[in-house]
């Protein structure tokens, strides 16, 4: 399976999603994460610790022939041509978005482009969902479903455990934090939707 994680906006959990989906898929088959973001956030994350899968840039990836899964972390705001290429060469395009108006505006632009290009192999992932009593995550998911957009049932709640994981170069399940387990369970649920 090839999964591409893309967004027209930075700060929506794109690299965090790529890292954690790769960790989930590694439990099923050898997984390679390709860091195609010029910021090299996934490579920086990996350099600070140890991840259970290999992380390479797009230049190194051309020399590899993975047998299992591939996750691609892209740059924020890919060009229309890049987005078309990414969408047509992967099984699923994962579009992370936070439930705030600026991120949703960027999501609308991306979905409009995908619709014009007749690309349907994408799913929207709500990330950085604020804790209760906020209902922002539920409200945005319901709104996306009403418009007929493909959205994951699972979502990624806002936990500081993800920042700890990035600082330590680990997957969130390996950090010492009381919310590490529920944080990992959020990505497990999304991973099961992907492979199911």
pLDDT digits (tens, 9 = 90+) for 30-73: 999 999 998 999 999 999 999 999 999 877 776 666 688 999 99
pLDDT at 75 (0 to 100): 86
- Alpha-carbon torsion angle 149, 150, 154, 160, nearest 10: -70
* Percent residues over pLDDT 70 in the chain: 97
What is the C-alpha to C-alpha distance for residues 193 and 3, in angstroms, rounded to an integer? 13
What's the pTM value of the predicted model, to 2 decimals? 0.93
Residue 196's pLDDT is 85
> Read out DSSP for the chain?
-EEEE--SSSSSSHHHHHHHHHHHHHTTS-EEEEE--TT-HHHHHHHTS--SSEEEEHHHHTT---SSEEEEEPPSS--HHHHHHHHHTSSEEEEEE-SSHHHHHHHHHHHHHHHHTT---EEEEE-SBPPTT--HHHHHHHHHHHTT--B-SS--B--THHHHHHHHTS-GGGS--TTHHHHHHHHHHHHHHHH-
> What does the alpha-carbon distance between residue 19 and residue 28 come to, in Å, rounded to a whole number?
15
State the pLDDT at residue 62: 67
Q: Is 146 exposed, middle or buried (0-12, 13-18, 19+ CB in 10 A)?
A: exposed
What are the domain boundaries of the chain?
A: 2-195
Q: pLDDT truncated to tens, each residue of the chain (196 aa)?
A: 999 999 988 889 999 999 999 999 999 999 999 999 989 999 999 999 999 999 998 777 766 666 889 999 998 888 878 888 888 889 999 999 999 999 999 999 999 989 888 889 999 999 999 998 999 999 999 999 999 999 999 999 999 999 999 999 999 999 999 999 999 999 999 999 999 8
Roughly what angle, to the nearest 10 degrees, separates helices 14-26 and 161-168?
80
CATH of 2-195, one of 1.10.10.60, 3.40.1260.10, 3.40.720.10, 3.40.50.300: 3.40.50.300
Q: Which pLDDT score, from 0 to 100, does residue 63 have?
A: 66
Question: What is the pLDDT, as a whole number, of residue 19?
Answer: 98
* pLDDT of 64: 67
């Amino acid at each position: 399976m090839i999964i591409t994680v893309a967004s027209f906006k930075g700060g929506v959990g794109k690299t965090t999603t790529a890292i954690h989906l790769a960790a989930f898929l590694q439990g099923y088959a050898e997984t390679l994460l390709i860091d195609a973001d010029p910021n090299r956030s996934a490579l920086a994350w990996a350099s600070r610790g140890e991840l259970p899968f290999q992380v390479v840039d797009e230049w190194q990836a051309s020399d590899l022939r993975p047998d299992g899964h591939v996750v691609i972390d892209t740059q924020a705001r890919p060009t229309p041509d890049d987005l078309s290429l990414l969408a047509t060469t992967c099984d699923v395009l994962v579009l992370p978005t936070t439930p705030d108006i600026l991120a949703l505006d960027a999501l609308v632009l991306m979905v409009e482009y995908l619709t014009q290009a007749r690309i349907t192999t994408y799913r929207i992932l709500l990330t950085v969902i604020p804790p209760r009593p906020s209902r922002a995550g539920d409200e945005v998911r319901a709104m996306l479903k009403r418009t007929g957009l493909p959205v994951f049932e699972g979502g990624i709640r806002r936990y500081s455990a993800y920042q700890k994981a990035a600082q330590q170069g680990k997957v969130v399940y390996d950090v010492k934090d009381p919310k590490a387990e529920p944080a990992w369970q959020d990505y497990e649920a999304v991973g099961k939707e992907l492979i199911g």
